[in-house]
Structure 1
Amino acid sequence: MTHSPPSSGQATDAAPATTTVPDGADRPAASLAPLGPVRSWLAVAAVGLGVFAFTTTEMVPIGLLPAMSRDLHVSEGTVGLSVTLYGAIAGLFAPVLTVATRRVDRRLLLLLVLVVFVAGNAFTALSSSYTVLMVSRLLTGFAHGVMWSIAASIAIRLVPPDRAVRATAVVFSGISIASVVGVPLGTFIGGLSGWRAAFWVIAGAGVAILAAAAFLLPTLAPRAVVRLAELPRLLRDGNLRIATLVTAAMVVGHFAAYTYVAPFLEQDAGIPSDWVSALLLLYGVAGVAGNFAGGAAAARALRATTLTCILLLAAAVIALVVNGRWHPGTVVLLLVWGIAYTALPVCLQTLVFASAPQAPEAATSLYICAFNISIALGALIGGWFVDTSGPSAVMFLGAGFSMLAALLMTRYRVARPDQP
C-alpha cells in the first residue's frame, strides 16, 4: 500500500518504498514490471552487475598505471587522467544525458548503455596511442553517467514497493564488490597477461551482463519526463537541496581522507607497508556488509540512519588519529569507517528518491553530478593538506567535512506520521 508523497518537500523518516513509489507513484510495482519474484530479483542483480562492471572499469587503471604508461609512452600521471577525466565526464554530463534520453524506454536505454560500455572497453584494449585511449575512456564515461542515473530507479520498478530500498542496496553493492573483487582481479589479470587483457575481460563481462539484462528485464516505459531547463527548479525543493549538499560535503570529506589513507597508515599509524593492501581489502569487505546493513536500517529510519553513518564515519576518522600506533585499534576503526561510508550511497540515493519522487532519474542525475565532482574536489583538497600539513591533518579535514554533512542533515525535514 502506498501513500501520496509528503507535502512541502517533506519526507517521512523511512524509505520511499513505504511512502511513495518513484517512477510510478501510487501504483504497485507489479503493474510496472509483471515479473515473478525470482526473475525480478535476478533482473535487479543484473542491474547491480552493470554497476559493478562500470565501477571496475572506472578504477582499474589505478592498478595498471605503470604498465599502461610504459606501453603508451606517457607518464603515469598522464595515464592517471584516464581515471580523473572519466569521473568528471560521468558527473558533469549525467544530468544532460539523462534529460536527453528522457523519452527512451528504460530497458532499451540500459541495453544501449551496456553496448557503449562493451565497445568502450574493447577500444581501450585496442588503443594504439594515448589519444585513442582517452577517446575510448571518455566514451565509456558518458555511458557511466547515464548508468548511475537510471540504475536505482530501474531496480525499484522491478520489485514490490516495500522492497525498494533492498533493491537499491543490491544495485549499490556493485560499487563495494568492485572495490573488493573487480579492481584487484583486473589488476591481477593485467599483471599476468598485460593491461589490455584486463580490459578485454571487462568487455567480455559486459557482454554477459548485456545478455542477462536483455533476457531478464521487461519493457519499462519512461516516466516523469523532465526538461533540462527544469533541473535547477528541482533544487528549489528544500529536501533535495539538502540531500545534494550532504552528498557533496560527505564525499569531499571521505575522499580527502581516504585518497591518502595509505600514507597515513604507514607514516602516522605505523602499519608496515606490506600490511596496507590487506587492510584496505578488509575495508572493502566491511564495505559490502555496510552496504546491505545500511539499506536494511534505512528502510526503517532513513534520516536517522544517514545521520548515524555520517557521525560514525567522522568519529572513526578522528579516532584513527587519536589512536596513534595501537594496531588493533587501527584495524577496528578502519573497518568501522568502511561500514559507515559504504552504507551512505544507499541512504543518500534513497534520500534523493524521497525528496523528488516525481522525477527520480533527473534528481539522481544531480546527485551523481555532485558525487563525482566532489570525488575530484576531495582528492584535490586532500592532496594540498597532505603536502602542507601531513597525513593526520587530512584525516581531521575529512572529519570536518563529515561534521558539516551531519549538520546539514539535521535540516532535512521529516513529515509527521499524521501528515498526508
Structure 2
Amino acid sequence: MSYSSQRPNWPAVFAIAFCVACLITAEFLPVSLLTPMAADLHISEGAAGQTVTTTALVAMFASIIITSLIKNTDRRYVVIAFAILLSLSSLIVAFSTNFFLLLGGRVVLGIALGGFWALAASVTMKLVPPHALAKALSVVFGGVSIAMVIAAPIGSFLGNIIGWRNVFIGAAVLGGVCSVWLMKVLPAMRDSSVEKESMLGIFKQTGVMVAMLAIFLTFCGQFSFFTYIRPLLATVSELDVNQLTLIFLGFGIANFIGTSCSAIVLKKHLMRTLFLAPTTLFFCAGLFIIFGHIPWVASMIMVLWGLTFGFIPVAWSTWIARNLSHQAENAGAVQVAVIQFANTLGAALGGLLLDGQGILAPITLCGGLMLVTAGLIGFALPKHTATHQ
C-alpha cells in the first residue's frame, strides 16, 4: 500500500468520516421508523425490517464486485459516486408508494454502502502517512459511532414530528453535503499498485477463517436483535415514543463512548476485548429476557449494550489491520461482505422469528449467537496472530 502524502490530509479524512456517518445513518433509519413505515405502506413490521435485510444483502455483493471492477480507477471519483447514490436512494425511499419501490431505494443504498465501506480503510491509508494511520482510522470509525448516536433517536424524534418520509428527504440532503465536501477535499487517488493476490487468498493466513466466522456470528446476532429494537421495547417494556427516543439516544451515546475508549483498551487487551464483548452481550440478552418488562432495567441494559458493542467493530478492524495490512482492499472487501451477509441473515431471521415465535425470539437468538462467538474466540482464535502492533 502506498501513501500519497507525507502530511496527513485531515480535511479529507473528516470528509470520509462524515460520509460514513451519513451512510450508516441512512442504513439504520428504518430501525427507529419501522412502525410508521409499516403502517403507512400497509405491511407488517417484520416485512418492513426486511428493508434492512435488502440493504445489507446488496452491500455484501457490492463490496466484493466493486473492488474487482474499479481496479486502478481514481478512488476520488468512486467515493464521490457512492455519496451521490446515498442521496438518490434516500429520495427513492422518501417518495415510495409501495413495498417494492421502498426495497428499490434500499438496493441503491446497499450499493453505496458496500462499495464505500470496502474502500474506506484503504482510502484512509492513502490520505495519511503510516504514523498517523491509527488516529485517522479512529476518526473514520468515529463516524459509525456518531451515526449510532444520531440515527435511532433523531429518526424516532423527527419521524414523530415531520413524518418518516421527510426524515429520508433529510438523509438525501446529507448525501448532497457529502458529495460537495468530498469533491472539494479529496485528492486524486489513482493507485497503480493493485493487489495481485486473490481476494480469497487472505483465508490462507493464520486465524483468518476463525476471525471471519466470529465476525459473522457477532453481527448476525446484533442485527437479529437491533433491527427490531423499537417493537421489542415498545411491547415488552411498554415505552412510549419519547421514552424510546431517550433510550436510542442513550444507546448511541454509550456506543460512541465505547468506540472512543476502544483505542486505549485495544492497545494492550485486544484478545481479551474480543472475548469479553460478546460474553457481555450474551448476559445482556439474558437479563432483558428476564427483567426487560421493568422500564428502568431495560434502559440500563440497552446503555450497557451500546457501550459494549462500541468496542467490537474497532477491535475486529484492529485485528485485521495487524494481520492483513499487506492486503488492505481485499481484506476490507471480505470483511464488509461478511458483515453485510451477517446483517442480512440476522435481520431476516429476526423478522421471521418476530412474526412467527413472538417478540422475545430475536433477542433470544442474539444471545445464543453471542455465546457461540465467545466460545469460538476463546478456544479457536490463535492468540499469537494479534499480539504485534
User: What is the CA RMSD across the aligned residues, in angstroms?
Assistant: 3.4
Q: Does 1:47 align with 2:16?
A: yes
How far off its partner does 1:203 sit?
2.2
Structure number, greater radius of gyration: 1
In the alignment, residue 203 of structure 1 is paired with which amino acid? A
CA displacement, residues 303-349 of structure 1 (integer Å, 9 cap, x when unaligned): 23222322222233334445566655443333221111122111112
Q: Residues 282 and 367 of structure 2 are in contact (CA less than 8 Å); yes or no, is this contact kept in structure 1?
A: yes
Tell me the equivalent position of 2:349.
Answer: 381
In the alignment, residue 106 of structure 1 is paired with which amino acid? R
Q: Residues 218 and 373 of structure 2 are in contact (CA less than 8 Å); yes or no, is this contact kept in structure 1?
A: yes
Percent identical across equivalent pairs? 24
Tell me the equivalent position of 2:202.
Answer: 234
Q: Distance in 2 between matches of 1:131 and 1:419?
A: 48
Q: Distance in 2 between matches of 1:261 and 1:121?
A: 22
Tell me the equivalent position of 2:271.
Answer: 303
Q: Name which of 337, 355, 378 aligns with 2:305.
A: 337
Give the 3-state SS of the residue equivalent to 2:325 in structure 1.
coil
How far off its partner does 1:371 sit?
1.0
Q: Distance in 2 between matches of 1:145 and 1:415?
A: 31
Q: Distance in 1 between matches of 2:232 and 2:96?
A: 36
Q: Distance in 1 between matches of 2:102 and 2:244?
A: 30
Give the 3-state SS of the residue equivalent to 2:188 in structure 1.
coil
Q: Distance in 2 between matches of 1:414 and 1:112?
A: 40
Q: Residues 168 and 346 of structure 1 are in contact (CA less than 8 Å); yes or no, is this contact kept in structure 2?
A: no
CA displacement, residues 77-101 of structure 1 (integer Å, 9 cap, x when unaligned): 6655443212210112211112211
Tell me the equivalent position of 1:104.
Answer: 73
How far off its partner does 1:148 sit?
0.9
Q: Name which of 112, 116, 127 aligns with 1:143.
A: 112
Task: Decide whether aligned partners of structure 1 residues 321 and 59 sit closer, same or farther in structure 2, where only a CA change above 3 A counts.
Answer: closer
Judging by fraction of residues, say which structure has more helix: 2
Q: Name which of 387, 398, 402 aligns with 2:370.
A: 402
Give the 3-state SS of the residue equivalent to 1:357 in structure 2.
helix
How far off its partner does 1:76 sit?
5.3
**Structure 2 residues not aligned, in runs of 5+:** none
Q: Residues 148 and 368 of structure 1 are in contact (CA less than 8 Å); yes or no, is this contact kept in structure 2?
A: yes
Task: Decide whether aligned partners of structure 1 residues 292 and 32 sit closer, same or farther in structure 2, where only a CA change above 3 A counts.
Answer: same
How far off its partner does 1:168 sit?
2.5
Give the 3-state SS of the residue equivalent to 2:194 in structure 1.
coil
Tell me the equivalent position of 2:4.
Answer: 32
Alignment length, in residue pairs?
Answer: 386
CA displacement, residues 135-166 of structure 1 (integer Å, 9 cap, x when unaligned): 44322321211011111232244344344333
Task: Decide whether aligned partners of structure 1 residues 138 and 331 sit closer, same or farther in structure 2, where only a CA change above 3 A counts.
Answer: closer
In the alignment, residue 65 of structure 2 is paired with which amino acid? V
Q: Does 1:214 align with 2:186?
A: no
How far off its partner does 1:56 sit?
1.9
Q: Residues 166 and 296 of structure 1 are in contact (CA less than 8 Å); yes or no, is this contact kept in structure 2?
A: no
Q: Distance in 1 between matches of 2:98 and 2:263?
A: 43
Q: Distance in 2 between matches of 1:330 and 1:172?
A: 27
Give the 3-state SS of the residue equivalent to 1:32 in structure 2.
coil
Bigger shift: 369-378 or 171-180?
171-180
Q: Residues 46 and 212 of structure 1 are in contact (CA less than 8 Å); yes or no, is this contact kept in structure 2?
A: yes
Give the 3-state SS of the residue equivalent to 2:127 in structure 1.
coil
CA displacement, residues 28-51 of structure 1 (integer Å, 9 cap, x when unaligned): xxx533445xxx333222111111
**Structure 1 residues not aligned, in runs of 5+:** 1-22, 25-30
Q: Distance in 2 between matches of 1:419 and 1:69?
A: 49
Give the 3-state SS of the residue equivalent to 1:75 in structure 2.
coil
Q: Residues 33 and 220 of structure 1 are in contact (CA less than 8 Å); yes or no, is this contact kept in structure 2?
A: no
Q: How does 1:7-406 map to 2 (within 5 A)?
A: 23-24=1-2, 31-35=3-7, 40-64=9-33, 75=43, 80-125=49-94, 132-186=101-155, 188-222=157-191, 225-226=194-195, 230-262=198-230, 265=233, 270=237, 272-273=239-240, 275-321=243-289, 328-383=296-351, 394-406=362-374
